Structures are given as structure tokens and as C-alpha cells.
Chain A
Amino acid sequence: MTDWLTRNAVFVITLAKIGLVLFVLLTAVAYLVWVERKLIAHIQSRWGPYRVGPHGLLQPLADGLKFLFKEDIFFPHATSRFVYLLAPFLAVTLGLMAIAVIPFGSGKFELLGTQTGLYIADINVGLLYILAVTSLTVYSVALAGWASNSKYPLLGGLRSAAQMVSYEIALTLSVVGVLLLAGTLSLRELVEAQQGHWGGLLPRWFIFPQFVAFLCFFISGVAETQRLPFDLPEAETELVAGFHTEYSSLKFAMFFMAEYAHMITASLLVTLLFLGGWLSPFPAGEFWAFTRYLPAAVAAGLAVVFLQDSFHHQPLSHRVLVILVGLALAGVAWGLFTGPALLELVQGPFWLLAKAAIFLFIFIWTRATLPRFRYDQLMAFGWKFLVPLAVLNIMVTSFVVAWGAD
């Protein structure tokens, strides 16, 4: 058995990593919905989910069960049953596939006698892979709209196809500036190209020399995930629910999951390209050494918050749950403070996820504050503003790079 394991170590480790990443991603998707509802509620002076579990923390579970037990209406008038079923599967598969090439840190560790790192696949064209996978997601929406054989989904599907093709151009063009500076398509090498600090203080992240590209990329990223203010394909005031009007139960849940998975991938990608990925913002050196303990400090702080908060919860079950979470966090903090190897391994994922969380917050923040674009405004903004801006950025960047090369 162990012999077989060591011989097929790469295979086994990759499978294990896929399982782990999928588990974490799906949990993150479920809790992102909770975070979004809570945040929007607080922005609008409401409480948000509060009934299921302390602070509504079990709401994602309740939502999942609700999706599961809703009547699964197999839309009888579908233009094509095969395509009608294919669309949600395509959505969720492509949404989860993109995460495969995201590197979560530079840490290496040995497992089953094989050296391995914090990624599922480290391929030379990681960035192109993500662009390819996300460029296919348009099919799920367009086909869902077409197969539903109903006017609102069809309009939503058409809008989505036009919107995603248009903003994909701006998205791809804005990346070129970063690629010119880094000279690689591998996500790992892109992050490694951002190592170091200007003047010993300002991190060499691409957001500073490529701020225009960053703006273009993030805006087109929001448009690609079809979130507000670009959620024309599912504009509920015009199109009922857009492309997923005729979907119910788990098939609707699949579209839902895909959208949030895309949000997470987009945030991770922005972080990797522009914010130095897993790199710590603090310079290396004796003076800043204490910042290596930040992950442990955050875990400890959260543990204190949870344990202190447990006094405020009335039903005993809620109180026990909060105390258990607090104790688990305290255990994590203890492990991090006492195990230097673990602390070292956690550095990368900690910074990557912390930075990605900023963008997830912005995603939700814009949804809570901005109104929806009109359709012609959306197209004009993409074609007449973002694309020229991205092209201009490419020209300026290539000029500067060529200047510096001589």
C-alpha cells in the first residue's frame, strides 16, 4: 500500500489537493453569500440574517438545504432538454476549474517523498488558462437563455454574450501591460517578478506602475462576473431574473455557486497580477520580523472576539457553537505561535487571501451602492473607454520597457 502510494505520489497528492481546494472553495462560496447579505444589510442599516445560528452563521447551510428541497421544475417547454441541462453544469464546472492554476504561496513541503507546493497545477501559461476557462463561461449563460425558450431568459442570454465578449477584450488587453513588465505567463513567476521594495518601503507591486491597467482589469473583471453595476443579463427590474428565470432548485443553485466562485477567482487573480499575490507588504529585515506573526495574531484576535461574544448569545446551543469556534481559533493561534514551520507555510495563503478579501469587499460594496448601467452605456463604456484606455496603456508601457531595455 505505501509502496503504491509512493509510486503514484504525484497523482495521489494532486487528487488530495483538488479535494481540499474544492472543499475550501465551496465553503468559501457558501459563506461569501452570508458575508454579502450581512454587509449589504449593514450598509442599508438592517441586521441581515440573524435567526439561523449565532449572527446567522448557519444561514448558508439552511440556504443549501432549501435549494435541495425545493421542487425541481424540469422546464417542459425547453427548446432542447440536453442544452437546458448542460448550461448549469457548464456554469459550475467552469467556475470551479479556474481555481486549479492559482498558486497560494511559495512554500514547499514534502509529502510521500515528493516535493510539492501550494498549488494544484503550476503550468507555464497559467494566466492564459484562466482567461480561456473564463471565456467559456459565456456559453453557460447564453445557452441557458436560449434553451429556456422564454423571452426574458433569451434577452438575458443575448445581453450576456455581447457583454462578456466586449469586456473580455478590455480584460485581456489590460493584462498585457503587466506581462510586458514581468515577461512571463506563469502566475507563479508573475508574483515572483513583484518581489522587493522601492526605497526599502514601497512594495514593487504592479499596481503602482500599472494603475491604469489595474483599474481596467478590475472593472472588466466585475463585468465578466456579471455583478452590479454590470448585471444586465439578470436585471430583475427588466428581465424578471434574466437567464436563470426558468431554472429552479439545485439547477439554479449551480448558477448561483458559479457566480460566487467567479468572484473569488477574479479577486485572487487581481491580487496575483497587481497586488503581489502571496508576498507580504512588509520589507524583509530584522525590523519587520514581527510581521511574520500577523497570521497568528489575527487568529488569536478572532478567538478573543468569538469567546467574548459568546456571552451575548441567548440559546445555549448558540453559545456553545460560538465558544467552540473561538476555541478552535485559539488552537490555530497556539499552533501558529509555537510551530515556526506551520507559520512559514501559512504566510503565503494568509497574505493572498487577505488581499483577495479586499476585492471581495469591493465587489459587495459596489453592489450595495451603485445603480445598474443602461445597456447602451455599458457597451459605450466598454468599447469607447476601457478598450482605448487599455490600448494606450500597452503603448506607453511598451515604450517605457523598450526605452529601459536600451
Chain B
Amino acid sequence: MTLETVLFYVLGGLAVLGALNLILQRHPIHSALSLILVMASLAVLYLLLGAEFIAAVQIIIYAGAIMVLFVFVIMLLNAGEEERTNLSRMARYVGLPVAAVLLSGLAYLLYRAWPVDLLVQPHPSLGQTRPLAEMLFKDFVLPFELTSILILIAVLGAVVLAKKEL
């Protein structure tokens, strides 16, 4: 096994464990920390694919900005531990098996349509800064600008909601 394969399994395992922990933890801060672990493992997985820029941006945006806000809000509201209710009978005996069947069906279909080695390939330059910038600002400039306008509108909406009189 090459070093890359070992790293892939370790990081994939960390990401899955983090995601599971995110659901199973009862305290919001612990859940948020698990989510950060997932983000960080994903970033290193991007790095393994040679996408340096995307890896760094993944950390800066998700772990460094969005999750900081999550943690900030949880601290500010002083959210306590969740009350754990017993699963309803219907959820336990019908919901979980159905969810499992659905997920495995989806996974199987995805795998049949695009085999794994086709789905994820290290690309020599796609994740680097310059090719990515050329794609964003030449080929996909209209969707990119539309997205930024959408985000701007969302920010305006948040400001208006938060501060009724300006």
C-alpha cells in the first residue's frame, strides 16, 4: 500500500467518524467540533488529489469562517445539552431500515454509473489556482456573478431582518 492509500483510508475514516460523532453527540459544541474535523479531513483529501487551492479555501471558508460563526452563536446563546427522546416506534422499526435501504440503493446506483476510479481522479492542474481562476472568470463568469449577487441579496436580507430601522 502506498502512502497515499494509507492517508486516504485514515482521512476517509476520520471524516466518516466525525460525521457520525456529529449526529451522536448531545452537546452542540461537540457536534460543531466534529463538523470541523470532517471539514479538515476533506481538505486533506483534496490535497491528496492535488487540489491545493481548494484545500486551503475549504479550511479558510468552512472551518475558519462558517464554523467559527456556528461556535460563536452556540456560545452566545449558551445552548445546553439536548434532551434525548426515545425514538418513536415507527422511526425505529420502519424509518431506519427504509433509510438504510435507500442509502445503499443510491450508493449502488452511483457506483454502477460511475466506477470509483472514474469518479475521483487526481487532476494535474484542475485544483490549482490559475486554472481554477480561468474557469471561474472565463468559462463560468455569468453563474459566478449570479451567485455573488445571490449572496449579496442574502446578506442584505439578513441585515434588514436583524435591524428593522436603519
Q: How far is the CA of A154 from the CA of B77 in the complex (A)?
A: 12
**Residues in A127-163 with C-beta less than 8 Å from chain B:** 128-129, 131-133, 135-136, 138-139, 142-143, 145-146, 154, 157-158, 161-162
Contact of B75 among A124, A135, A146, A185 (CB under 8 A): A146
B64 with A125: CB separation less than 8 A: no
B52 with A125: CB separation less than 8 A: yes
**B76 surroundings in chain A (CB, below 8 A):** 158
**B56 to A, closest residue via Cβ:** A128
Stretch at the interface among B28-36, B83-91, B146-154: B28-36
Do A139 and B56 contact each other (CB < 8 Å), given the known contacts A80-B29, A158-B76?
A: no
A168 with B64: CB separation less than 8 A: yes
Q: Does B140 contact A (CB under 8 A)?
A: no
B52 with A161: CB separation less than 8 A: no
**A169 to B, closest residue via Cβ:** B65
A161 with B68: CB separation less than 8 A: yes
**A138 surroundings in chain B (CB, below 8 A):** 64, 68
B33 with A83: CB separation less than 8 A: yes
Q: Does A18 contact B (CB under 8 A)?
A: no
B129 with A162: CB separation less than 8 A: no
Contact of B60 among A80, A124, A131 (CB under 8 A): A131
Q: Does B57 contact A (CB under 8 A)?
A: yes
Secondary structure class of chain B's binding surface, majority of residues: helix
A185 with B129: CB separation less than 8 A: yes
Bits for A185-221, please: 1 = Cβ < 8 Å to B, else 0.
1000000000000000000000000000000000000
Bits for A60-75, please: 1 = Cβ < 8 Å to B, else 0.
0000000000000000
Q: How far is the CA of A269 from the CA of B64 in the complex (A)?
A: 19
**Residues in B123-141 with C-beta less than 8 Å from chain A:** 128-129
- The interface size of chain B toward A, counting residues with CB under 8 Å, comes to 23
Q: How far is the CA of A162 from the CA of B69 in the complex (A)?
A: 9
Q: How far is the CA of A138 from the CA of B29 in the complex (A)?
A: 14
B29 with A132: CB separation less than 8 A: no
**Residues in B54-92 with C-beta less than 8 Å from chain A:** 55-57, 59-60, 63-65, 68-69, 71-72, 75-76
Do A124 and B52 contact each other (CB < 8 Å), given the known contacts A139-B68, A165-B65?
A: yes
Q: Does A392 contact B (CB under 8 A)?
A: no
**A302 surroundings in chain B (CB, below 8 A):** none
B72 with A132: CB separation less than 8 A: no
Q: How far is the CA of A145 from the CA of B55 in the complex (A)?
A: 29
B57 with A135: CB separation less than 8 A: no
**B57 surroundings in chain A (CB, below 8 A):** 128
A sample of 4 more A-B contacts (CB under 8 A), given A132-B60, A136-B64, A165-B69, is: A136-B63, A158-B72, A165-B68, A185-B129
Interface residues of A (CB under 8 A from B): 79-80, 82-83, 86, 123-125, 128-129, 131-133, 135-136, 138-139, 142-143, 145-146, 154, 157-158, 161-162, 164-165, 168, 185
Give 8 A-B contacts (CB < 8 Å), ordered by A residue: A123-B52, A124-B128, A125-B56, A135-B64, A139-B68, A158-B75, A161-B72, A185-B129
